[in-house]
Amino acid sequence: MDSRFNLFENEFGVRFAKRFAGVGVLLHQSTLPKATQELVSLRASQINGCGHCIDMHVKEAAAAGESAVRLHLVAAWRESTVFTEAEQAALALAEEGTRLADAHEGVSDETWELVRKHYDDDQVAALVCQVALINAANRLAVITHQKGGAYEAGMFKAAVEG
């Protein structure tokens, strides 16, 4: 199926996208490790079935030096040995924060405690915002049928700075 609608060809969509991208830039400037940001975005995008965002985050992470093994194992992170305890806590938060409708409590106390153990207040704030932002981005792309495959590493940065 082709894309339904191009937000970047609409005046309101462009104004919104600039502000939305600005939040992404702010998150990239946080002290939350860049690898964690990409892993969290990738995992939420996998859950949400967002090909456009999976494409983007795999390519950005690979360009930043992330290994193919780790990228391939994100979908099965609980059954792998390549993620740190801190990354596992972030991935658990990403999953629980993405699957809110699947659990009456949302993010479990156990996951929250693990996140608090590994991240300082600024990193926790960035992590929570990262999960919220990627879920919003996934919804925008899935609703409008943005497809994966055409993204090239650096496109987001070029669009924001350009």
pTM, two decimal places: 0.93
Is the separation of the CB atoms in 120 and 132 below 8 Å?
no
Q: Which residue has the tokens 């207040």?
A: 121
Tens digit of pLDDT at every position of the chain (162 positions): 588 888 888 899 889 988 999 999 999 999 999 999 999 999 999 999 999 999 999 999 999 999 999 999 999 999 999 999 999 999 999 999 999 988 778 899 999 999 999 999 999 999 999 999 999 999 999 999 999 988 898 887 777 776
Q: Helices in 49-154 by DSSP H: which ranges?
A: 51-63, 68-73, 85-98, 109-118, 121-143
Residue 83 tokens read as 């993620």
